Amino acid sequence: MIEKHKEIARLISQRVVNEKDYTAIEEHLTSDYIYHGLGGMTAQTPNGFTEAIKGFHAAIPDLKSEIIDIIGEGDRLVLRFNFTGTQKGEFLGFPASGANLHFEGMIMRRFEGMKVAEDWDYFDFPTVVSQIQSQLNTIKS
């Protein structure tokens, strides 16, 4: 079962984050899915998660993720990612900066059967803020 969960996780990352194919969300998330994101952000239901991801894509249109590690046990996976992209829209309260972002993140993912029921998402917030602020300071100079 763990190998199937890993396959689903890879598929979600590729289709949703890299290809902006949101149909994978409806296919692979439970109807009562819960997303726990940065700063207490939550999304309840696949539609809520779709809107959250679209928000990331609006801020970072060329967002790409690469899975570095996947570790699983029971009904849980932990995924470690590299993310890259260019901040072209408001993100984390910062205006569009044009910053080339490169940061790591992790997701703990809980499955119910063959569908994702819950995610806990973390990323290297200080690195992202530093990269954005550095670019904004360059623009001001």
Tokens for 33, please give them. Answer: 């899915």
Q: How many domains does the chain have?
A: 1
> Can you give the residue range of the structural domain that contains 105?
2-140
* Contact of 34 with 112, CB cutoff 8 Å: no
* Contact of 85 with 61, CB cutoff 8 Å: yes
CATH of the domain at 20: 3.10.450.50
pTM of the model: 0.90
The amino acid present at 11, given as its one-letter code, is L
* Contact of 22 with 68, CB cutoff 8 Å: no
Task: Note the pLDDT tens digit of each residue in 78-118.
Answer: 999 999 999 999 998 999 999 999 999 999 999 999 999 99
Percent of the chain with pLDDT over 90: 90
The three-state secondary structure class of 44 is strand
* pLDDT grade for 138, boundaries at 50, 70 and 90: confident
Task: Note the pLDDT tens digit of each residue in 115-137.
Answer: 999 999 999 999 999 999 999 98
